[in-house]
Amino acid sequence: MYALITDAYVDAGFVLVFPGFRAHGTVNGVAAEGQAFVDAYDNGSYLMPIYYARDLLHLVEDLDSLNSVPWSKVGGGYTADTDVRVDLTKIHLVGHSNAGDAILTALAVSGEDSTISNVITSADIWSGCFPTRYGQVEAYYPMQTSSEAFQAGTGSLVWNATDTPTAGGSANPNFVHGWPADWMANSTTETDINNEFAAWKSGWQNGYINKTVKEALTIKYGQMVTTLNGYVEGETGITVGNVGGETIAITDGAAVGDLTTVVVTIDPTLKAKLDAVSAVNYPEYLVDESILFQFSDRDYYSWPELNEGLRDEINALDGNAHSVKYAGHTHELKLSTRAWYRNAGAVVSTSLFPTADLNGYTTAIDRGVTLASTGTFPAS
């Protein structure tokens, strides 16, 4: 996925530098340090992107060192020490998925009154995963593991090919998003697709993974609590369960048809702390950079309302944000190969690197390169 992005920026004359995210990758056979952070925070706490943001900021702050490298001694055809010089007035970030969370955090931290000397000028966020910490708990794992999260109605739950919880005149109170991962079905009619989802629920999902949104939330909030109690200074005694009064209470609410509403109550003090470490809550610190949000209309990791809402908040504060939505695309911004997921009439090739399959992907690359090169957003 990332090779085409890399090639496009190199062809446009940019120097690409990749952050050494802790515990990711090897250099000369030596694995990156920081596995302890991944073990502690890469879970239902959704705190790991904060540490990735720190790694990113360290990289940004050290970019001027590239202008001190004796490039003639590096090889690769360089003949003079000054063959490579980077323009520190054009620092552009590109990130996909939870790197979008890391980028927003880095932008917020490096904003007004920051001690960061190298100024980030623009960012291109693809399918960014940047809800609040608890927002990620309540969206991602239920969608990954429970068909209740994406089916509509309150009797016999059905998938209705829309992002609405209503079917048969009643609305699923535990509905999250109407489009699960595209690989979950191969059929073309709603009836056949629902049969596939039913088989999925009674097959490998049965006995292996959660069947309800409540079960999914209990697992992920349990991970969050374990992490906060074990690794966050000053946090002890946080509990999660289905009894009112606990710090994170997951309780049964009103009955709606055959379903019971799941109610999550987070202690206000804890909620405020989780909000404080969620970059999406700081649009006022995202106004100095030009930010491009690119996303699918169906991706439950980065739904349109999330991207468009933050875009509008930034622009209302005289910032400069723009968004582009790609219909029928996956989390990777590629046109889905499944007919049920992509738009009717969209053509998909079967070649190894098909242009039709990439569709919005290549356009998204061009839009990001244009922003980095000119500081302006290309026409949607």
Q: What tens digit of pLDDT does each residue of 72-109 get?
A: 998 888 899 888 899 999 999 999 999 999 999 999 99
**Cα–Cα separations (whole angstroms), residue 199 to 156, 296, 298:** 14, 27, 22
pTM, rounded to two decimals = 0.92
CB-based burial, 117-141: b 16+ in 10 Å, e otherwise: ebebbbbbbbbbbbbbbbbbbbbbb
Distance set, CA 259 to CA 174, 202, 287 (Å): 8, 18, 43
pLDDT digit string, tens, across residues 124-162:
999 999 999 999 999 999 999 898 999 999 988 899 888
Chain-centre distance for alpha carbon 7: 23
Among the listed residues 161, 184, 191, 159, the one whose alpha carbon sits nearest the alpha carbon of residue 172:
159
pLDDT value at position 269? 87
Q: In which band, very low, low, confident or very high, does the pLDDT at 188 lie, cut at 50, 70 and 90?
A: confident
Are the C-beta atoms of 251 and 241 separated by less than 8 Å? no
Give tens-digit pLDDT for 205-253. Answer: 665 566 799 999 999 999 999 998 888 877 767 777 654 445 899 999 9
Residue 342 confidence (pLDDT): 84
Lowest mean pLDDT among 72-86, 278-292, 352-366: 352-366
Q: Environment class of residue 86 by beta-carbon count within 10 Å: exposed (0-12), middle (13-18) or buried (19+)?
A: middle
Q: Does position 9 have pLDDT exceeding 90, yes or no? A: yes
Query: Which residue ranges form the domains of the chain, and what is each CATH number?
Result: 2-131+278-374 (3.40.50), 137-272 (no CATH)
Q: What pLDDT is recorded for position 12? A: 96
Confidence of residue 261 (pLDDT cuts 50, 70, 90): very high
Instruction: Report which residue type is found at 5.
Output: I
Asked if pLDDT for residue 58 goes beyond 80, the answer is yes
Q: Taking a C-beta distance cutoff of 8 angstroms, is the pair 336, 342 a contact?
A: yes
